[in-house]
Every structure is written in structure tokens, then in C-alpha cells.
Amino acid sequence: MSEDFELDTDDLMRRMDGAMSNLRTEFASLRTGRASASMLEPVQVEAYGQMTPINQVGTVNVPEPRMVTINVWDKGLVGKVEKAIRESGLGINPQLNGTIIMLPIPELNEERRKELGKVAGQYAEHARVAIRNIRRDGMEQIKKAKADGMSEDDQKLWETEVQDLTDTYIKKVDEALETKQEEIMQV
């Protein structure tokens, strides 16, 4: 009956890659002691009647390891960009210089580093949960195929493949977390 059952492992991998991509984006928004243009990605500015990412209202540069600059293209938006950064919760105090907004990145203290490490751990756990949910979807497809007449050997084979895929992605999450925590704790 179901001899031709083919689990779409490419779809499962694509979805797990999406979870990893989301994790990398969340990690990029965590501020370490170094300046990074990606730390401004979650910040939105009220511009021309809609919320707009900062990189669409100005040029974001990292001229030195502890400084991010934003060259705002429209003078009328400088105040709004500055306000958005202040209210973003990044803990950075913007300094104005004409249409250029300078963001000096302060040194992180030990307590703040530990907090960021915990936040990184939470982000990693969300990614693990997402990957496990994708595994569950794959296992449910296999169970349905078993109910439709798939042999027990085929069922075990597919379940092993889904589990191996899951284990691989969970390991990637753990490695990414370890790397990020080392980066955060670096003084």
C-alpha cells in the first residue's frame, strides 16, 4: 500500500535551517562588548508614516571596535532615529553630530555579561523547542503512513532518519550557544 512513502526530509531540514537562522538573528541582536551593525537590526524608526528599520533611513557603519555611527539621510529623521535608539532597550546613549548619530559601546560589566549569557541560553532553548516540534511533525507523518500500511522496518528506518536529523540540528544549536557565550564572556 504505502511502499512508496517518502518523507520530505528536505522540508524538515529547511524548517530546521529556519530555526537556526532565527537563532543567529537573535544572537546578533545581543550586545557583546564589541560594536556591530547587526545590533541595530531590531530597532525600528517611525519614518514617513510607517515603522522602518534604521538601515533604511541611514548608513550604518562601524568605524572602530567600540563605535557605531548612523549617517541619517533625511535631517528631519535624526531626532526620531535618536529617540528610537534610546527607547530600544539596547542601553546605548546616542550622541548627535549633525546628521551623524554616534553610538559609543560601553564596556560590559561581569553581571551584565552573565545576564546576556542567560538570555542567549533562552534563545537557544527556543530554537531547540522549534526543532523538536519539527521532529514531532515528521514522526506524525511516519505514524500516519504506518496506519496506511507501511512496514514496521520502514517505520523504524524513517524514525531513525528523523531522529538523526534532529540530533544534528540540536548539536548545531548547542555549538552556536557555546560560541556566543564565549564571545559574551570575553573581556
**CATH number of 51's domain:** 3.30.1360.40
Task: Give the domain CATH number at 16.
Answer: 1.10.132.20
Which H or E run includes 50?
strand 50-53
- Only one residue has cell 553581571, namely 111
Whole-prediction pTM value?
Answer: 0.67
pLDDT at residue number 134: 95
pLDDT at residue number 70: 92
pLDDT in tens, the chain (187 residues): 345 678 888 999 999 999 999 998 888 777 666 777 777 877 889 888 899 888 899 999 988 888 899 999 989 899 999 988 888 767 788 999 888 999 888 777 888 788 888 889 999 999 999 999 999 999 999 999 889 888 999 999 999 999 999 999 999 999 999 999 888 887 6
Quote the domain boundaries for residue 85. 34-104
Choosing from 75, 104, 133, the residue where a domain stops is: 104
Evaluate whether 184 touches 32 at the Cβ level (below 8 Å). yes
Count of domains for the chain: 2
Which H or E run includes 166?
helix 152-185
